[in-house]
Structure 1
Amino acid sequence: MDVRTGFVVLLCLMGFTCADPVKFKDCGSSSGKVAIVDITPCTSQPCELHKGQSYSVNVTFSSAVVSQTSTAVVHGIIAGVPIPFPIPMEDGCKSGIKCPIQMKQQYHYLNSLPVKSEYPSIKLVVKWELKDDDKNDLFCINFPVQIVS
């Protein structure tokens, strides 16, 4: 059993929801490549995000560049219009990534996605980007969600 499989098994045994990785679309990862996107808890797809709760987002990616910094930018895409979606920590170097980021290394970006009570009940696409020093995307992913009461 490899290390990643062992880690997933350990999380399952600790009581975390074991769900399939989230289906995502790459939206222009020019400085890296995404391997897996996990949102916890997310037991169905699109992920149902309940108002007033927070969700854990884990993106496993490899970098094609060296970067001293990384900055997350998140938008909700509603009817083709990107609307900024605030997250608690924009600094990727404080979100599970040890900076400086090295070329050809794999990283686990960890952040939370809070869903405010005042958000409307709606289906939308989340666009999550992690930018390098040059503002190029270490990763850019789109994934569908549904905000529910």
Structure 2
Amino acid sequence: MLRKTVLVFAALVVFAGATIVNHCDSEIPFEDSTQISVSDCDRPTCILKQGSTVSIQIKLVPNRNIESLINDVGAILFNVPLPFIGVDGTNACDNIYNTDGSKAGCPLKEGAEYIYKNSFPVLAFYPRVALIVRYSLREGNDKVICFEVPAKITK
């Protein structure tokens, strides 16, 4: 689980500020509030506007070699997990970069620094509700990193 996972360090300051996120299935925030950046979200609750695109950036330093990564992204709405269409289940290796900005892909080497960058659309048909976004990268059934952020979908 998280003890066996990748160490995550400060995200590049590309966005307006740090995003306050919790480890999955807990109320415990990440130790460094700048580990993960979500565009236009520097405090809870993140506002996700229908028809917009949300960008995410994470700096990773694996504590073991990682052969492959899958995006596991969804919303928890009324305690029901729902996938984010277009991101959930896709290859996360396509979104891994070296710190110089060049494409890294997989495999990831233990101890090397990488930057994960991705974005997802907030589709117009998503309901305007409060929810929890659960974002994880996994290798097989092992969650390499997993975080949750409270959000609200608006018009």
Give the TM-score range, shorter chain. 0.7 to 0.9
Q: Distance in 1 between matches of 2:37 and 2:86?
A: 17
Contact 2:49 2:154 in 1 (8 A): yes
2:142 maps to: 136
Cα drift, residue 51 of structure 1: 0.2
What are the within-5 Å matches in structure 2 for residues 74-113 of structure 1?
74-88=73-87, 90-97=90-97, 98=104, 99-113=106-120
What are the within-5 Å matches in structure 2 for residues 1-149 of structure 1?
8=13, 11=14, 18-19=16-17, 21-27=18-24, 36-42=35-41, 44-88=43-87, 90-97=90-97, 98=104, 99-132=106-139, 134-149=140-155
Cα drift, residue 107 of structure 1: 2.2
Cα drift, residue 71 of structure 1: 0.6
**Count of residue pairs the alignment pairs up:** 132
Q: CA RMSD in A?
A: 2.5
Q: Which runs of 5+ in 1 are unaligned?
A: 12-16
Cα drift, residue 109 of structure 1: 1.0
Identity of aligned residues (%): 23
Structure 1 residues 102, 145: closer, same or farther in 2, change over 3 A?
A: same
4+ long deviations beyond 6 Å: none
TM-superposition CA deviations, 1:9-31 (whole Å, max 9, x none) = xx4xxxxx522x11111127xxx
Cα drift, residue 43 of structure 1: 5.0
Greater per-residue helix proportion: 1
TM-score relative to the length of structure 2: 0.74
